[in-house]
């Protein structure tokens, strides 16, 4: 080419474009290689970023993991730790090692008359309490289910005790059943002798159980009202056509169809009675520790005394393990005995 030659602008632009395309293709190849390496190293996170399906599953996984971690930390780990303490000599005031003693704590419990008494009392609380609250709960629910006027008002009145402080109710019942309380005043006025009630080893337990039953009626009423509302009215109409009496309709229609509600109420009631037997006993017993003569002590009160009065966490944990197995056994028994299937 001569000295005065200048390349055509067309060829200059064409060459520039080809050069850019080539560099872009090289960049794409490099990017694809890097992407393949990322897919090989972290396939899950690549799919998570690229696929809506994996994003949905990842969100569900995270949503379930947080409650699971909370449950493991709040429920499972303390339970396992309690089991561990139950097999050790563990005193809160002692320092140093806490040796493994095997079943010694459990053997000592079953040789302790107070613990055996608390176990029997807890069983009596459950039997009387669950039966009483089911009976009164379904009775009140049936009465309220029939009325049409002021139904909401009566429901609120019966439900208020359930949301009232257990301590307040305990003190009210203690005042009612004390030696010079309201109940004895009524007995004297109708010509009957006064009773010791909370001061008697034979009567105190039943007074405390009565307070528990009275407070739980509202909750049971709500459960049974929900169950009664789900029973088809046509079954009662068919029973009327067959000439069934009110009692026959109740026993052959209402009770069978309320079976799921009864099972649920019995299990929840059992657990509730074990829990509130501590607060009620502490506030209503004559000496505040399950008296008189340990006649009202429950397993929960016994555990509290061992842990925070005797500072023997090994014995308290062993009693907790036994209470856990006791509740588990009763729950399985209730589910097996009470659960029945009915087809109409």
pLDDT band at 62 (very low <50, low <70, confident <90, very high): confident
pLDDT band at 319 (very low <50, low <70, confident <90, very high): very high
- State pLDDT tens for residues 37-60: 555 555 555 555 556 566 667 777
For CATH 1.10.3720.10, list the domain ranges present in the chain: 104-338
- DSSP-derived secondary structure letter, 84: H
Phi-psi region of 56 (alpha: psi -120 to 50; beta: other; left: phi over 0): alpha
- State pLDDT tens for residues 278-291: 888 999 987 778 88
Question: What span, in angstroms and rounded, lies between the C-alpha atoms of 114 and 120?
Answer: 10
Do you find a cis peptide bond into 292, omega within 30 degrees of 0? Answer: yes
pLDDT of residue 6: 44
- DSSP-derived secondary structure letter, 103: T
pLDDT band at 93 (very low <50, low <70, confident <90, very high): confident
Q: Among 210, 219, 224, 202, which Cα is nearest to 128's? A: 210
Question: What span, in angstroms and rounded, lies between the C-alpha atoms of 344 and 336?
Answer: 22
Give the count of beta carbons closer than 10 Å to the beta carbon of residue 104: 15
104-338, CATH topology level? MetI-like fold (1.10.3720)
pLDDT of residue 136: 94
pLDDT of residue 5: 45
Residue range 324-335: mean pLDDT, rounded: 85
Could you tell me if 161 and 212 are in contact, meaning their C-beta atoms sit under 8 angstroms apart?
no
- DSSP-derived secondary structure letter, 312: B
């Amino acid at each position: 080419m001569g000295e005065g030659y200048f390349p055509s602008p067309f060829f200059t632009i064409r060459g520039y474009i080809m050069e850019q395309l080539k560099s872009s293709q090289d960049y794409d190849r490099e990017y694809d290689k890097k992407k393949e390496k990322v897919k090989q190293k972290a396939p899950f996170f690549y799919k998570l970023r690229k696929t809506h399906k994996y994003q949905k599953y990842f969100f569900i996984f995270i949503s379930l993991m947080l409650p699971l971690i909370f449950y493991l930390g709040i429920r499972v780990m303390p339970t396992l730790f309690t089991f561990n303490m139950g097999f050790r000599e563990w005193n809160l005031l002692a320092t140093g090692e806490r040796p493994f003693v095997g079943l010694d704590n459990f053997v000592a419990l079953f040789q302790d008359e107070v613990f055996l008494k608390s176990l029997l009392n807890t069983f009596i609380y459950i039997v009387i309490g669950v039966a009483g609250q089911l009976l009164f709960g379904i009775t009140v629910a049936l009465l309220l289910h029939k009325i049409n006027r002021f139904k909401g008002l009566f429901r609120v009145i019966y439900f208020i005790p359930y949301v009232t402080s257990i301590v307040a109710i305990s003190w009210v019942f203690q005042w009612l059943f004390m030696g010079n309380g309201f109940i004895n005043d009524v007995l004297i006025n109708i010509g009957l002798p006064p009773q010791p009630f909370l001061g008697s080893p034979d009567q105190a337990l039943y007074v405390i159980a009565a307070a528990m039953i009275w407070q739980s009626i509202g909750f049971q009423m709500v459960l049974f009202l929900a169950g009664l509302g789900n029973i088809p009215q046509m079954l009662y109409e068919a029973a009327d056509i067959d000439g069934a009496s009110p009692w026959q309709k109740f026993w052959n229609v209402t009770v069978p169809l309320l079976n799921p509600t009864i099972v649920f109420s019995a299990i929840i009631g059992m657990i509730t009675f074990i829990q509130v037997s501590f607060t009620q006993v502490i506030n209503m017993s004559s000496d505040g520790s399950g008296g008189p003569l340990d006649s009202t002590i429950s397993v929960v009160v016994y555990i509290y005394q061992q842990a925070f009065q005797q500072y023997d966490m090994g014995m308290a944990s062993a009693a907790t393990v036994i209470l856990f197995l006791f509740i588990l056994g009763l729950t399985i028994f209730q589910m097996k005995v009470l659960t029945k299937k009915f087809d109409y």
